[in-house]
Amino acid sequence: MKFTVATIFALIAVAFAYPAVERSAPIKRQNIVSMDVSVPAMSSQDGAVVPFNAANVHQDARTKGI
């Protein structure tokens, strides 16, 4: 009986502690960019999609002569 009361109390505490979700809050989405989907792309540090450029890739093994 003690376990059941403690469990119910814990579930009620979680239900009250869980933050309410605002239904009217706008959803943050990435800006629509007209990029060719056949071109390789990657994401930058801030999450923006940028075209992939192999000339700017650091090739550590080639630098070390491996």
Structure tokens at 34: 């007209």
Q: Is residue 20 part of a domain?
A: no
Q: Which domain holds residue 66?
A: 38-66
Q: Is residue 61 part of a domain?
A: yes
- Give dist(CA 28, CA 8) in Å, integer: 36
pLDDT computed for residue 2 by the predictor: 73
Rg of the chain over Cα atoms, rounded to whole angstroms, equals 25
The number of domains in the chain is 1
Taking only the tens of pLDDT, the chain with its 66 residues reads: 778 888 999 988 888 887 666 666 676 666 666 667 788 888 888 888 888 888 877 788 888 888
pLDDT computed for residue 8 by the predictor: 92
Structure tokens at 36: 């060719």
pLDDT computed for residue 7 by the predictor: 92
Q: Is residue 43 part of a domain?
A: yes
Q: Is residue 44 part of a domain?
A: yes
Angle at the Cα of 22 from the Cα atoms of 18 and 28, rounded to 5 degrees: 110
First to last CA, the chain: 68
pLDDT computed for residue 16 by the predictor: 83
Q: Is residue 6 part of a domain?
A: no
